[in-house]
Amino acid sequence: MSYSYSKTQNSGSRALVASLVVVVSCFFLSSLKADVVVQSNGKRIDGVTVLSAKWDQVLFKQGGNTVKLIGDKVASIQRESAYLQPVRSAISSGDYPRALSSISKLDGRGLKGWQAAELQYLKGKVHLVAGEAAKADGVFKEFVAANKETKDYWLPHAIYGRGQAMLDLGRGNSAQTHFQGLAPYGPTWVLRAKLGEAQGLFLAKKYVESRAKFNEVANNRKA
């Protein structure tokens, strides 16, 4: 009798454990599939679903609420993508050859929409951080041309990337032109652009103007 009770109790315990494993696994998998929004003030918002991401506005679901943020207030977004995750991971770990290899494999997969746009942006970013400024500028240029009308979220990032590429190439005047092109994208981008302009002016040996621009950034309350 006691054996029967013990056997029944053990079966019940195993069933309970199995149920808990399923629940935890489902929760873990759902967390992996969640999107992330990072605000310009550094606040990270996990477990959301990005509904729309444009440079002027990011819309996402957080629980039962729909949240709208001005694009200028969003530092970065990460939408769940099995295709893009290997590229992102390689970039985060500083393994740029692996990132470019992953990008090369994805180029022929026919990605559409935001995944195709982000893949192209990431390609430019990898070339830039890998010290291949000329290649980065070429990729960013194509990105801007292809995504300007759709107002893709990464558009100002790509324009800024072109400015950074020009700085790396020692082309101060060209860098200024790209940084000045960030004016329509909001106060945060304007401030970053001014810092880039200051660097461009310095490279162009316009030291007085460069110092004035640096001071302008330093004196800005948002700096």
Condensed to tens digits (0 to 9), the pLDDT of residues 48-77 reads 999 999 999 999 999 999 999 999 999 999
How high is the pLDDT of residue 29?
A: 38
How high is the pLDDT of residue 18?
A: 41
How high is the pLDDT of residue 14?
A: 46
Please state, in angstroms and rounded to a whole number, the distance separating the CA atoms of residues 68 and 3.
61
- Which distant-in-sequence residues (6+ apart) come within 8 Å of 58 by Cβ? 37, 50, 52, 68, 69, 71, 74, 77, 153
Read off the tokens for 36. Answer: 């992330």
How high is the pLDDT of residue 120?
A: 97
- Of 106, 110, 99, 109, nearest to 132 by C-alpha is 99
Q: Which residue stretches of 42-132 are H helix?
A: 85-92, 96-107, 113-129
How high is the pLDDT of residue 56?
A: 98
How high is the pLDDT of residue 219?
A: 85
Range with the poorest average pLDDT among 76-85, 104-113, 203-212: 104-113
Percent of the chain with pLDDT strictly greater than 70: 84
Convert the pLDDT of each residue in 143-189 to its tens digit: 999 999 999 999 999 999 999 999 999 999 999 999 999 999 999 99
What is the distance in angstroms between the CA of the first residue and the CA of the last residue of the chain?
76
How high is the pLDDT of residue 128?
A: 98
What is the CB neighbour count within 10 angstroms for residue 167?
21
Please state, in angstroms and rounded to a whole number, the distance separating the CA atoms of residues 193 and 217.
10
Tokens 């970039």 found at: 91
Contact between residue 153 and residue 54 where contact means Cβ atoms under 8 Å apart: yes
Convert the pLDDT of each residue in 7-41 to its tens digit: 444 444 444 434 443 333 333 333 446 899 999 99
Burial class (CB in 10 A: 0-12, 13-18, 19+), 114: buried
Convert the pLDDT of each residue in 120-155 to its tens digit: 999 999 999 999 999 999 999 999 999 999 999 999
List C-alpha distances in Å: 91 to 49, 98, 125, 127, 132.
23, 8, 9, 11, 15
Full DSSP string of 52-65: EEBSSEEEEEETTE
Tokens 């990431």 found at: 122
Q: For the chain, what is the mean pLDDT?
A: 87
How high is the pLDDT of residue 212?
A: 92
Cα 139 to the center of its chain, rounded Å: 16
Of the pLDDT bands very low, low, confident and very high (cuts 50, 70, 90), residue 221 is low
How high is the pLDDT of residue 159?
A: 98
